[in-house]
Amino acid sequence: MKAWIVLLMALCLPLMVQASEEEEDAEKAPAPVVAYVTLAPALVGNFGDGPKLKFFKADLSLRVTGVDVEAKIKHHEPLIRNQLVMLFSQQTEEAMAAAGSREVLRAEALKQVQDVITQEEGQPLVEDLLFNNLIIQ
């Protein structure tokens, strides 16, 4: 009986060692780095229609995960900036002044950025878009 127990323990020991090594490897793996890519300088343009010009100034940051993704976003920054300026310039004064309009605009801007990056890179890469500052005049 003791021989069976010793044999069973001898067979299970390598499995226990392998499981603990896998846990240690998982703990040693670096966590992905979250980065915020700020689009600088701020986006500036006019919007709306009518006799009086209305201006916007938007300071934006894009949240991404990974150093390589950050580099890709910086590479495509001119395309992203163009897409966002076009989006903001198409807004009406009523849409910009309405309650909750900034959240709607933020969601649409994120969608447009993700669409552009998906066309270029094959996946959205941008997790979120944040307004650091949005001034409408």
Number of Cβ atoms within 10 Å of the Cβ of 32: 11
Q: Are residues 102 and 81 in the same domain?
A: yes
Full domain range(s) for residue 40: 34-136
pLDDT score of 26: 54
Q: Quote the CA–CA distance of 102 and 97 in Å, as a whole number.
A: 9
- Whole-number Å distance between alpha carbons of 78 and 53: 25
**40-59 pLDDT, tens digit each:** 999 999 998 878 889 999 99
Count of structural domains, the chain: 2
**Above 60 in pLDDT, residue 96?**
yes
pLDDT digits (tens, 9 = 90+) for 24-43: 655 676 778 899 999 999 99
The pLDDT score that the predictor gives to residue 63 is 97
DSSP H helical ranges for 29-132: 67-75, 77-89, 93-97, 101-121
Using the structure block, give the residue that is written with the tokens 């950025």. Answer: 113
Kindly report the average pLDDT of the chain as a whole number: 85
Euclidean distance between CA atoms 81 and 117, whole angstroms = 12
CA torsion sign, 103 to 106 to 111 to 114? negative
Q: Clarify whether residues 42 and 7 are in a common domain.
A: no
pTM for the structure as a whole: 0.75
Residues 25 and 44 in one domain: no
Give the pLDDT band of residue 93 (cuts 50, 70, 90). Answer: confident
| Structure tokens belonging to residue 60 | 């934006």
Residue pair 15/97 in contact by the 8 Å Cβ criterion? no
Question: Do 75 and 129 reside in the same domain of the chain?
Answer: yes
Cβ pair 136, 128 in contact under 8 A: no
Is there a single domain that holds both residue 52 and residue 12? no
Q: Closest Cα partner for 132 from 35, 40, 34?
A: 40
Q: How high is the pLDDT of residue 51?
A: 84
- In tens, the pLDDT along 105-126 reads 999 999 999 999 999 999 999 9
Phi, psi of 99 (to 5 degrees): -65, 130
Residues 22 and 66 in one domain: no
